[in-house]
Amino acid sequence: MLAKKFNKISIEIVQGDISEMKADAIVNAANNHLFMVAGVAGALKRKGGIEIEKEAVSKGPIDIGSAVETSAGKLQAKYVIHAAVMGMDFETNENYIRKATENTLILADKLGVKTIAFPALGTGVGRFPLKLCAEIMLNEIIKFDKEKNKNIEKSFFVLFTKRAYDEFEEVFRKL
> What's the pLDDT at 139?
97
Q: Is 102 exposed, middle or buried (0-12, 13-18, 19+ CB in 10 A)?
A: buried
> What's the pLDDT at 50?
97
This prediction has a pTM of 0.97
Question: With contact defined as beta carbons under 8 Å apart, do 18 and 11 qualify?
Answer: no
Please give the Cα distance from 142 to 131 (Å, whole number).
Answer: 16
Please give the Cα distance from 107 to 100 (Å, whole number).
Answer: 10
Task: Profile the chain (175 residues) by mean pLDDT over runs of 10 residues.
Answer: 92 97 98 94 96 98 98 98 95 97 98 98 94 98 96 98 96 94
Domains and CATH numbers, the chain: 2-173 (3.40.220.10)
The string of DSSP letters for 73-92 reads TTSSSSEEEEEEEE-TT---
Q: Which residues contact 57 (CB under 8 A, 6 or more apart)?
A: 33, 34, 35
| C-alpha to C-alpha distances, 141 to 8, 96, 163, nearest whole angstrom | 11, 15, 22
Please give the Cα distance from 144 to 87 (Å, whole number).
Answer: 25
